[in-house]
Amino acid sequence: MANGENYAWLQLLVDTSFASRFLIGSDAKILFANAAAESLFGYSADELVGKPIDIIFSSASDQTLALPQLDSPVRLISGDDQEIRGKTKDSSELSLRVGVSPIRTLTGTFLAVTVFDITKYKQIEKELRERASLLEAANQKISRFAYLASHDLQEPLRKIAAFASLLKTALAEGDGPTAAHASEVVSHSAARARDLVTGMLDYCLSSSSAPNLEIIDVREEINQVLDDLSEPILESGAKIQNLVAKNVKVKADRLQFMRLLSNLITNSLKFHKDGESPDVTVSASDDAGYGVELFVQDKGIGFEPAQAEDIFEPFARLRSYSNIPGNGIGLAAVRAICRQHGWTVKAESQPGQGATFKVEAPIEPRKPPETLTPIAPLVPAAREPARPR
């Protein structure tokens, strides 16, 4: 082939390459850029030729090294491929893998620069790391949940086994009072176990069910929940005020939102002061530019500020109030529901001064966390974690 034909074939080979290719001279300026380089970086060949090679590298990149083949330092390292940040004509950031090869000719030394766009690969790599981290956190969470669930279930099951045996003996001996007491303990323990299982199912549903969103009226839903809770409200003599204005709307899963309200109000009903009826107020602020803030306030026994996060953990029960009925899952389910909606829930309190629970439901909620199915075996924790409220 003639030299001209050889050059034409070489030009075709370079221009049809998927990789971006540059030729730079001893002054670190671009002498040639192929079609892939034009497409990737958004410049025409005419715009690139004569410009420093740094034009395609991000100012955030700090890989600068003087090469013996060139008269000026550039953001490249000769030899092994290097990962470096790049930028396009419109300043979009890229992740690049760059290879440099010296070309020595009779007229001087040049550098052939090959650039691969690995932006998508790096994004996938980042997502894989994030999912691995989520999976590890999910495994740890489910391990702790399983440990606490089994621990809490052991107590009523142990009582059922022990007092069922006592009941059998008492009946055989005709001991009526002992049989009646044993029967009562068995019934109470069975109810306790049932409540724990129901609470666990409630929590799991709250944590894993994708919300079916619709626009709902907050005041109407509160009234419905109060109607559903009419029996415990009457039994406790509670005073409950619904101060939420009409037409305050929130985008939520109706059933999950009602469960959230029910759990918050039930919590306030339980933790009242001795000798006093529960006093609970439900209110909301509606900011058209932000969203809805829902408040459930009570005048109950309260808790230490340091425990404001602990109470949202599954099976969390404050030791000082362990005599108060409950399975320690209600508030954990509230937080799980909030997370599924991209909301937040916070608690504020002082001992003896009641508690305030605040649910923030912004118009543009945070992205709900991904739900991952744990694949590692459930390994019980080495020791029982702290068990607050």
Task: Answer whether residue 388 is part of any domain.
Answer: no
**H or E segment to which residue 110 belongs:** strand 108-117
Q: Which residues lie closer than 8 Å to 263 by C-beta, 6 or more apart?
A: 330, 331, 333, 334
pLDDT number for residue 61: 53
The CATH number given to whatever domain includes residue 293 is 3.30.565.10
Q: Please, are residues 114 and 20 in contact by the beta-carbon 8 Å criterion? A: yes
* pLDDT top residue among 79 and 357: 357
Domain span including residue 110: 3-117
Number of helices (H), then strands (E), belonging to the chain: the values are 9, 12
> How far does CA 71 lie from the centroid of its chain?
51
Domain for residue 219, yes or no?
yes
What's the pTM value of the predicted model, to 2 decimals? 0.55
Return the higher-pLDDT residue of 376 and 50: 50
Average pLDDT rounded to a whole number, residues 233-258? 92
- 218 and 357 part of one domain: yes
Please work out, in degrees rounded to the nearest 5, the angle formed at the alpha carbon of residue 109 by the alpha carbons of 103 and 113: 50
Q: Are 261 and 224 in contact (CB under 8 A)?
A: no
The number of domains in the chain is 2
What average pLDDT does the chain have? 80
CB-facing half-sphere around the CA of 349: CA atoms within 13 A: 26
**Residue 201: is its pLDDT beyond 70?**
yes
Give the three-class secondary structure for 239: strand
Residue 241 lies in a domain: yes
Residues 204 and 335 in one domain: yes
Helix or strand (DSSP H, E) at 188? helix 176-208
What is the DSSP code (8-state) at residue 57? Answer: B
In a domain, 377, yes or no: no
CA angle 308-311-317, nearest 5°? Answer: 135
Distance CA 268, CA 276 (A): 13
For position 40, what pLDDT does the model report? 93
Which CATH number do you get for residue 64? 3.30.450.20
Tell me whether strands 355-362 and 291-298 are parallel, antiparallel or unpaired.
antiparallel
Q: Do 142 and 267 reside in the same domain of the chain?
A: yes
- Domain assignment of residue 383, yes or no: no
Buried/exposed code over 12-22 (b: 16+ C-beta within 10 A; e: otherwise)? eebeeeebbbb
Q: Between 283 and 79, where is the model more confident? A: 283
pLDDT of residue 287: 76
Q: What is the pLDDT of residues 284-321, one digit of tens each?
A: 988 766 889 999 999 999 989 998 998 888 776 554 55
Residue 27 pLDDT > 60, yes or no? yes
Same domain, 106 and 172: no
Is pLDDT above 90 for 282? yes
3-class SS of residue 314: coil
Bridge partner residues of 171 (DSSP): none
Helix (H, G, I), strand (E, B) or coil at 340: helix
pLDDT tens digit string along 134-146? 788 767 767 766 7
